[in-house]
Amino acid sequence: MNEPIYQVVATVHDPRTAEGMQEQPAYDVEKQDRTRATGIAQKWAEDGYWASIYDQKTAECIVDFAPKGGRR
């Protein structure tokens, strides 16, 4: 679980609806372990971004965080 296979992506739009979508994410960090990825995502959400964590092996979204909100 702490293998560095996670990617964290911050966007200014809801990743589930793509409402307000822009071409590029605001931030994108690859090759993180899950603990570090979760910390990064929570920080970005606190800063007002939608933050999602993806498994880079499967491209599956593991968890996402709403801006200034909680885990979804």
Say what the pLDDT of residue 13 is: 78
* pTM for the model: 0.83
Distance CA 28, CA 51 (A): 10
Q: Is 37 exposed, middle or buried (0-12, 13-18, 19+ CB in 10 A)?
A: buried
Say what the pLDDT of residue 17 is: 74
Say what the pLDDT of residue 1 is: 61
Domain boundaries in the chain? 6-65
Tens digit of each residue's pLDDT, the chain (72 residues): 678 999 999 998 777 776 666 678 888 999 999 999 999 999 999 999 999 999 999 999 999 999 986 655
